[in-house]
Amino acid sequence: MLILCSRQTWAVSHPPHRRPTPIARTALVGAIFLFLLAFALVPSPWSTGARGPEEMFVEISVETEQNRMTCPSFALAAFSTLKVSSMYRAITALVISVGMFAALAWAESRNWTDSTGQFNIEAEFVEYSQGDVTLKKSDGETIVVPMNKLSKADQAWIRALLRERLAERKAAEMRPAENRPGEMRSNENRPTRGGREPDRKEDDSPVAKFGEPGDWLQWRGPDSNNIAPGPAAPTQWNETENVKWKVEVPGRGHSSPIIVGDLIVLTTANEGRQTASVLAFDKMTGKSVWQTPVFQGGFQGEIHPKNTHATSTVASNGKQLFVVFIQNQSVQLIALDLQGKLQWQVNAGPYVPDQYKFGYGPSPILYGDSVIVASEYEKGWLGAFAQANGQSRWKQPRAGISFSSPVVAKIGGKDQLLISGLKSVSAYSPKTGEPLWSAPGTTNATCGTMVWEGDTVFASGGYPDAQTVAVKGGQVQWSNNEKCYEQSMLAYDGHVYAMNDNGIFFCWNGQTGEEKWKTRLGGPVSASPLLSGGNIYAANEKGDVWVIKASPDSYELVAENRLGDEIFATPIVSEGRLYARYADSSQGKRQEYLICIEQQ
């Protein structure tokens, strides 16, 4: 028996085109030889009345953690489940040891081709993580390649492989613990959807990086930087060209869509009826999947004309959806499952602005097993709540009017919760809420989310003053007098790209602040620039969308498009498709839409 299995058993599905490496082939041939040798030298156990062959079959279940096979656990599980007499245990140990060696040597070796078709390499697939693919060459060298730099066939192969592994894990989790050989019965250290552990140490993982390829689980995407991994989105479209689907969205809102699995989710509000709802659509067809009203009544009496009662973007951990609304002058934090059913709702804390009653805007973000929420007014706060039940974890005072969503980034090798406004650029521990550092910068009120590259962070705002600032190690590196009040900026490849309130697009050197170029596109601006496939997508409130080459050398317009006559929500890109929420009043009545743009 090379590895004893029943007819139903080996749980590892072989992905398309999988084949063993030369090392694996050698190991398998050696295993067969040793098996035949052992079989020839030792009498058959069945001739002496031992258990029959049907009882020697072993059900082996191999689960993956973070898309990797744990071969020693695999061999131990097989050994622990073998029920053989002691006189044949030595043979079993020999065979399983060889099997373990073969499993360790087995790898997914294939020819990989880049997106241009000019370069290829023979290598083993190691893992996919945050838009990057790790490959291992036959000489042991490990290389990391952005997934969008691979050919479409290679990208499809990776997505198919990860879907198979996810299905295997889900199937294994559905079995009782006693039927999972070698598996701990506790949920501790068991990966959830996308390989993310429920309880991480602070230094283990920066932001809430989780989910499947194609997921866009919270405000500003998989890496919280508004850079879309995977294939590039189309650069041109019109009413008929490259439009996969377009659907009406009821009510009014400025929340960006998110994608979790096959769902695209956003929030909306009916101001007349004072109802706040969460909506889910099928991401491939646009068909409505469910609509869940979460409360009625208690809307804010005054908000800015450009704001809405559904401006905050949904956040998801792949199993739950987290939303925030303002009701009766308090922040309502609500959790739903992926079927739209309410799991829990808590009053996270007050939101009672006195001087500037412009409405609420920050989006919740996820860190570890917490949801982090901001509520900034004269007696404001920043707090974290348990994803399981909404229980308060920590709170920090943030006294002053501001509207920015916080973000978690790894700065100086440590996870830091970044937020601007209140005349400072500040960092907190996302785990405890403890203040880490603060530097003077920006102004009283900001709306945009901070961005970063390396250990340098960038912020812009706001009201009443105008400033863009770069901070490193708690010290201001450079600043200028440009203002991105509502919109966030974009940090990419050593440079900062920004569209100010007047619609002037800038490129600055991230380390020095040197202006590389600028051009006037046209404002006003609320949506944030988005990067996909080396192109920046920038929109203004009038519905104009510019596609610009992300290059510090010079301004290069790739295409100019239009979506209705109103864009406030920031578009997103997933697997080469651009999803955008916009409004059109050309027929005499304002109507919101959700559109999917895909290369046809």
Q: Which amino acid is at 544?
A: D
Percent of the chain with pLDDT over 90: 64
pLDDT score for 442: 93
Read off the pLDDT band of 54 (50, 70, 90).
Answer: very low
Q: What is the pLDDT of residues 530-557, one digit of tens each?
A: 999 999 999 999 999 999 999 999 999 9
What does the block give as tokens for 96? Answer: 């399983």
What is the torsion angle, in degrees rounded to the nearest 10, for the CA atoms of residue 476, residue 478, residue 483 and residue 487?
Answer: -70
Dihedral sign (CA 509, 514, 520, 524): positive
Q: Residue count of the chain, please give it.
A: 600
Would you say residue 93 has pLDDT above 80?
A: no
Domain ranges of the chain: 22-108+152-191, 203-211+255-401
Whole-angstrom distance, CA of residue 20 vs CA of residue 409: 39
Q: 203-211+255-401, which class in CATH?
A: mainly beta
Read off the pLDDT band of 26 (50, 70, 90).
Answer: low
Q: How many helices (H) and strands (E) does the chain have?
A: 5, 37
Q: What is the pLDDT of residues 460-483, one digit of tens each?
A: 998 999 999 999 999 999 999 999
SS3 content of the chain, % helix, strand, coil (to 5): 15, 40, 45
pLDDT score for 240: 84
pLDDT score for 166: 62
Residue from 84, 88, 80, 102 nearest 32 by CA: 102
Query: Could you tell me the strand order of the sheet in which 504-509 lies?
Result: 490-492, 495-499, 504-509, 515-520
Q: What is the pLDDT of residues 332-347, one digit of tens each?
A: 999 999 999 999 999 9
Peptide bond into 176 cis (omega under 30): no
Whole-angstrom distance, CA of residue 502 vs CA of residue 432: 39
Q: What is the pLDDT of residues 113-127, one digit of tens each?
A: 987 787 888 898 988
Query: Could you tell me the strand order of the sheet in which 435-440 lies?
Result: 407-411, 414-421, 424-428, 435-440
pLDDT score for 99: 55
Read off the pLDDT band of 148 (50, 70, 90).
Answer: low
* Residues 6+ away with beta carbon under 8 Å from 156: none
pLDDT score for 243: 97
DSSP letter at 528 equals P
Peptide bond into 462 cis (omega under 30): yes
Mean pLDDT of 274-298: 97
Please classify residue 16 by burial: count the beta carbons closer than 10 Å to its beta carbon, then call 0-12 exposed, 13-18 middle and 19+ buried.
exposed
